[in-house]
Homo-oligomer: A and B are copies of this chain.
Amino acid sequence: MDSWVDGQPADALSLKDRGLAYGDGLFETIAVHDGFPVLLDRHLVRLAKGCRRLAINLDHAAVVSEVLTYAEQLNDGVLKLIITRGDSLRGYAFDPSAQARRILTGNPPAVYPQAHAEQGIRLFPCTTRLSFQPLLAGLKHLNRLEQVMARAEWQDTEHAEGLMLDQAGRVIEGVFSNVFLVHDGVLITADLSSCGVEGVMRAELLSQAESLGIPLQITDITLEQLQGADEVFVCNSVYGVWPVRAYAALSWPVGPLTRKLQTIARALLDA
């Protein structure tokens, strides 16, 4: 379907847009099912957090209304919302009162092999390391060259995702997913205060696990801890949960907590 800019059908963007010039903006990739944006509240919360951190003035009411209308027309698929700080003046300085630009594009549903969800996936060991930048950590901002470079490290279809470490060798996330592991019944995911993206499905699963009384830990994860895990899985807001069977020489069975959270994620995406 047609794309929109600031609520109007449009197929092109100003060449002076700061999203292009500097990656000066944020995005959200939202699953749409039966005309409804899945986990919209969590996407809006993350977006608001990003706007606050980057001092971007966004008409949040317009975003909600546009996303709801756009999703209704898309019906089933994946909606991408890009927010930029609008047009450049000259150089990096910006007008603090400038209103953000809202860009909506739609795609058909993402199609992945059934086996990813059923039998689990292999993670490619990416050598591209995530840099330490607490000012930007957690945000889904438009500066994504590290992910582009990491994703370019493998072309085979044997690896459905890649695992990214930080500069200190800690396990942080997948290229387009967050990573969880289970150890002695505890659900563990990486602390993202120095790098990484705080995924919407990650936040949802953490909250669901808490409601179920599952012990949680948000912490630094070493490769040794990954190796010693009972279960490993990745998640995002489009495909839900994929069990991880292997990473380099390491391997894991598909475990019961992974299956439980996968069922919960599936139900949200199919609701």
Contacts and interface: CB of A to CB of B under 8 A. Distances in A.
A5 interface: yes
Interface in A104-136: 105, 107, 110, 128-129, 131-133, 135-136
A30 to B, nearest CB: 14
A134 to B, nearest CB: 9
Contacts of A11: 14-15
A82 B20 contact: yes
Contacts of A96: 152, 155
A52 to B, nearest CB: 13
Interface string A155-194: 1000000000001000000011000000000000000000
Interface stretch (A21-29, A202-210, A211-219): A21-29
B132 A131 contact: yes
B90 A22 contact: no
Nearest to A91: B176
10 contacts: A13-B14, A13-B20, A17-B20, A23-B142, A24-B144, A54-B145, A93-B151, A96-B155, A131-B132, A136-B145
